[in-house]
A and B are shown apart, each in its own frame.
Chain A
Amino acid sequence: MSAAIEILRAGPLVTVQDAGRFGMLAHGISASGPMDRAAFVTAGRALPIAGAAIEFTRAGLSFRFAGDPVQVVLAGGAFELKLNGHHHDWPEIIALSSGDLIDITPGSFGNYGYLRFSQEFDLPPILGSRSTNTITGLGGFYGRSLQVGDRLSLVDGSRFAVETLTPGSRDGGSIRVTWGLHADHFSGDIRQLFLDREMTISTRLNRMGVRLDGGGAVFGGASILSLVSDSIVPGDIQILGDGTPIVLMRDHQPTGGYPRIATIIAADLDRFAQLRPGTAVRFKSVAPACVLKLGSRG
């Protein structure tokens, strides 16, 4: 069995991601992994053996498949999908034959989608993971985003089983947070404003963080001090010196010295990652003890 895909078109920040590179924080490397873990896992469950994913962004991806047949699962957000020019639903499972052309173009919602094959990419795990870490340039495909002309070989074939896929949740509603490490640096009035005021997803978002617009109305009166640097976890909402909130995502710096008012709970971080620029966001505080009951994936 041998097979490969060749990238014909790629939006920005298309990366290889597996579950993540855990256990490396003390060495200065955050875990990376899928921006929408639920979509990644959903895609994987549809196959008896699933390799690392290609995580693509809103502009989508085109590739040509060559070699012995494999299956591919496409999931996450809602994208437009064509196989050899013919429209397919989303999410979808497709049996690929040599010469097939997959074309993924922007759809109705989400920032991130996933491709998982019934084989593994022939890429070496770095420190136990094939995830690309965009801040350090480690892992994945030579530590970088995929570009036109890149060729990824697939190895270790397996038999296929088909399950039904459910589309990703487009549930609106507030994003739940626990109060953060430095919540006590903000007055009660500012914490209340943080919950009451709608903010919006800005155009400045990537795998490291998502900046929010509208933070000035909340944090304009706060004095933002630089603090002793401390551990960051995915979902932390840190407030920059000018009052801009930035939600730290999967490729976060392992430590940071800006105050963090709150942390998006793991169960809501996937949904948050899929919110497009311009989307209004409202935060709701929950007690840490409730988080497990609300779901602990991520």
Chain B
Amino acid sequence: MTAGSQYPTLIPLGGQALLVRFGTSLDDAANRRAIDFARLAALADLPGVLEIVPNLVSVLLRFEATVIDFDWLAGEVRLLLSARLETHIPTPVEHAIGVVFDGPDLAELAAGVGLTEAQFIDSHNAQPLRVLATGFAPGFVYLGFHPAELVVPRRTAVRPMVPAGTVLFAAGQTAITATAIPTGWNVIGHTDFANFDASKTPPTLMRAGDSVRFEALS
């Protein structure tokens, strides 16, 4: 039995938020269940719920404590969890993202997994990835999962700042920055795709659960 197939844990965060946790480590099943539950909860119009935020393996429900309390909301959540999820979930949106694979860590990464740079890029782009989570920084997306032979750890040194549109790689995942941030991930390329525009509502294009296919640009 994997962590993702166990009954989720309902945890209070302070007095105004409930976390539905599907696992305590990142795995595919827990991530899928979190994303599916977030989509279902968004359609359910739960009383007093102000905001629904999917994470890697959990979903945050921020609630108005003068309208509903934790125990009442927990009951509503348990009812939702017992519903048949697959009948409610819309088909994921698909995105095609062009990437210039010119990152400073690409050569070392490819060599580390026994591939040429071209082979690494082909393997990286072979399968569409799923948006595992958003929310770490404006427009930032975690995408996964790559097959086991491509899994490498993060760098030991943190780069103080990488620009928006940097394509990152570590821990079996690819990530795309949409603002300048510091990162300990490997830098493998860059994209013109911009997943954050503060002048638009909503300000981001990708949602957890969306499908992303990468194309190598020269």
Contact = CB atoms under 8 A, between A and B. Distances in A.
Given A25-B51, A26-B53, A138-B198, A228 B134 contact: no
A254 B136 contact: yes
Contacts of B60: 25, 231, 233
A157 interface: no
B13 A28 contact: no
B15 A266 contact: yes
B24 interface: yes
A136 B133 CA distance: 19
A289 B198 contact: no
Contact of B56 (A23, A180, A229, A253): A229
A15 interface: no
Interface of A: 22-29, 126-128, 136, 138, 178, 180-181, 227-231, 233-236, 253-255, 263-266, 288-289, 291-292, 294, 296, 298
Contact of A181 (B13, B25, B53): B13
A20 to B, nearest CB: 11
A291 B65 contact: yes
B66 A296 contact: yes
A178 B21 CA distance: 18
B12 interface: yes
Contacts, number: 133
Nearest to A260: B13
B13 A255 contact: no
Contacts of B26: 228
Given A127-B201, A138-B198, A231-B53, A292 B13 contact: no
User: A-B pairs with the 4 shortest C-beta distances?
Assistant: A291-B15, A231-B60, A288-B12, A263-B14
14 contacts: A22-B51, A25-B62, A26-B54, A136-B179, A229-B55, A230-B21, A230-B55, A233-B16, A253-B137, A263-B13, A265-B15, A266-B16, A266-B65, A291-B14
Contact of A27 (B11, B21, B56, B203): B203
B191 interface: no
A22 B53 CA distance: 12
Contact of A28 (B51, B139, B199, B201): B139
Interface of B: 11-17, 19, 21, 23-26, 50-58, 60, 62, 65-66, 69-71, 133-140, 178-179, 196, 198-199, 201-204, 207-208
Main secondary structure of the interface of B (DSSP, over half): loop
Contact of A178 (B14, B52, B62): B14
Contacts of A25: 51, 53, 60, 62, 135
Contacts of A233: 13-14, 16-17, 60, 62
Contacts of B204: 26-28
B201 A231 contact: no
A78 to B, nearest CB: 27
Contact of A26 (B15, B16, B56, B134): B134
B55 A24 contact: no
Given A26-B135, A294-B15, A296-B66, 13 more contacts: A23-B50, A26-B54, A28-B179, A127-B198, A127-B203, A229-B136, A231-B60, A233-B14, A254-B53, A254-B135, A265-B14, A296-B16, A296-B65
A135 to B, nearest CB: 8
A180 B57 contact: no
A267 B172 CA distance: 41
B138 A27 contact: yes
Nearest to A25: B53
B55 A255 contact: yes
Contacts of A138: 138, 198
A174 B37 CA distance: 38
Nearest to B64: A296
A255 B16 contact: no
A268 to B, nearest CB: 10
A140 B135 CA distance: 21
A183 to B, nearest CB: 10
Contacts of A230: 19, 21, 55-58
A93 to B, nearest CB: 29
